[in-house]
Amino acid sequence: MLSEGKPFLAAVYSNMNPNGGAKHAMLVIGIDSTQVYVNDPGKVNGKNNSYSISQFLSAWSAQGNWYVALD
C-alpha cells in the first residue's frame, strides 16, 4: 500500500488520555527506517505527525492490527 503511494487507516490504542487509553484511528501516510508518518485527527495539529516504529506498532497491535486500505 504505502509503497504504491496509498495511505491506510490504522486502528490504534492511544494512551495519551490522562484518564486512560482510548480506541483511535490514524491515517498512515509514510514510513522510513525509524518513523511512521501519520495524519492524526486526535491532535489539533495532527497533519504530518510522526511516531517511532516501536511506538506505532505497540499502539496498532493493541487494536489487533486492524486497518482499512484506501484506494
Residue-wise pLDDT tens digits, 6-31: 999 999 988 755 555 678 899 999 99
CA–CA separation, 26 and 28 (whole Å): 6
Residue whose C-alpha is closest to residue 36's, from 24, 48, 53:
53
The pLDDT score that the predictor gives to residue 21 is 67
The pLDDT score that the predictor gives to residue 16 is 52
The pLDDT score that the predictor gives to residue 66 is 94
Average per-residue pLDDT in the chain? 87
How far is residue 44 CA from its own chain's centroid?
15
Q: What does the angle CA 45 – CA 13 – CA 68 come to, to the nearest 5 degrees?
A: 80
> For the chain, how many structural domains are there in total?
1
Cut 0.95: pTM above it: no
- Structural domain including 45 reads 2-69
